[in-house]
Structure 1
């Protein structure tokens, strides 16, 4: 990193400059204005209202925040399975909360780009879906390793604890870096204008192998080799596809890893309580992405651990490690 970066100290987050676009969005959704309404989509990089999990936030100190969120019971894609919330919801909550705070409290303009270094979380395997409405959540966020450039966040670590009715159900963190549009253009080059081709979608594996509700949601296509698949994304999928992205969204890679873990264990009910992912590079739209999964030694008895890797042209894209309790398969 550049020597011009400086660690943040006690400068109040709310005193940092914001762009007019952030100010306009803030004006429509002040913290605490409506605990059930989602925050503006610009803050969490989600266009569809049903995909927005964050509802409000409040600053508790210069590096600590309280965020409220909700997990849907009737989402068309992230649906509960056997009375358990979709495991990707925990990671998506951490991602959205970090984006929200970066924009609203750490001065990141809405046109800047985020590079996710990792996303790691552990969930309570006994937590179950109850009632008929969304699950209301509180997210305690602590920001550290924070570096600022020209009054805006350049990089930082977001540690989060997600609770429901006072019960801790998820702990996790993510490391993020932020780049300006000019720097991002230099990083991405000609890839900046690449979009997913609308050609023929490769055949999916059987939905029951990945625990998917329909073929439309299956992210894996057979390669003819055990434990290996091609990443498969249906164009126009409302949750998995972001038309504005010049690369495959991280959520797609996380769920592809989850589906691969289910496929390699031979059970569509594999639900990880521990899920850690490191991202090495962007997954490109126009290059086949190979997803490989294998069982590895589990640190805890009575659990199954699977390591999933994604690669393009032999270069690593991401690696995920997922662990599930054998009693909950």
Structure 2
């Protein structure tokens, strides 16, 4: 229960809600950055928790249904509001929901859009779309939308564990080595996700596929490393203002298996004055299982 950030929710109109949450001043995974700003992935996780709660409480989704996410996005419009102070942030989501692909009782489809208010200041917006389905429907979706492939052949082609080197936690903006989900495979320099199903936060409940929030963490960590030149050893970069994640959009295309390699392929890396835009795909068995677009912005020192 320590990972639940929601504190209250109330219906304020047709498909309109206010969802309250409290963000901790510190967190083992989603900790403040070196300038003292709250990790924006707390916003993404709060969006996820909010829609799950609203689905059960207001849209009659049975507790036993499986949730399958299609896409999640957020944008921070005023990062200064996220500065950690002497008390935990008081958070309110002004949420509006809509049914999409809704065929109850077996399939409940929902989309939520939310405006983020932190300590009384509007500072972002985001959204999430998913379906909640019964076990029979889940098995059909799982079989229809999974990555085909020969596990032995894929593992052999991937180069084996001996060629994969973990990236330092500092390079990806994390504090603990076990929180780093990124590794590099040589020869070739391929970026690959390191999936630890025993991680108490990223896998806080059993899953038979790669969860959306784990994929988002992989995208974020690679984005942090590239935007802040985490492998360059450039002392000039270290003294400059760090790049912070301003927006992120993730779309899931297929179920990703937990026992097959997931590579992260950079499709676009565009620099402009003060920003860096990255488009990254997660690939398994040669097929794109999820894609992301991130914008990193250089912050004030």
Class of the TM-score when normalised by the shorter of the 2 chains: 0.7 to 0.9
- Corresponding residue number in structure 2 for 1:219: 181
Cα distance in 2 between the residues matched to 1:58 and 1:225: 54
- Corresponding residue number in structure 2 for 1:262: 224
* 1:166 Cα deviation after fit: 2.4
- Corresponding residue number in structure 1 for 2:25: 73
TM-score, structure 2 normalization: 0.82
- Corresponding residue number in structure 1 for 2:118: 164
The CA deviation string for residues 48-78 of structure 1, in whole angstroms up to 9 with x for no partner, is x221111110011121011001111222111
* 319 and 227 in structure 1: CA distance in 2 versus 1, 3 angstrom threshold: farther
Cα distance in 2 between the residues matched to 1:166 and 1:227: 45
User: Of 58, 64, 68, which aligns to 2:10?
Assistant: 58
Q: Determine if contact 1:292/1:309 at 8 Å carries over to the other structure.
A: yes
Q: How many residues matched?
A: 273
Cα distance in 1 between the residues matched to 2:110 and 2:67: 11
User: Of 120, 130, 136, which aligns to 2:84?
Assistant: 130
Cα distance in 1 between the residues matched to 2:105 and 2:143: 27
* 1:144 Cα deviation after fit: 2.4
Cα distance in 1 between the residues matched to 2:170 and 2:260: 27
Gap regions ≥5 residues in structure 2? 147-160, 231-241
Superposed CA RMSD in Å reads: 2.6
Cα distance in 1 between the residues matched to 2:196 and 2:104: 40
Matched, 1:205 2:167: yes
Question: Which stretch shows the higher mean deviation, 54-63 or 221-230?
Answer: 221-230
Q: Determine if contact 2:243/2:299 at 8 Å carries over to the other structure.
A: no
- Corresponding residue number in structure 2 for 1:91: 44
Cα distance in 1 between the residues matched to 2:257 and 2:105: 32
- Corresponding residue number in structure 2 for 1:288: 261
* 1:151 Cα deviation after fit: 6.1
* 1:139 Cα deviation after fit: 0.7
TM-score, structure 1 normalization: 0.76
Structure with more of its chain in strand, by fraction: 2
Cα distance in 1 between the residues matched to 2:37 and 2:189: 26
- Corresponding residue number in structure 2 for 1:18: none
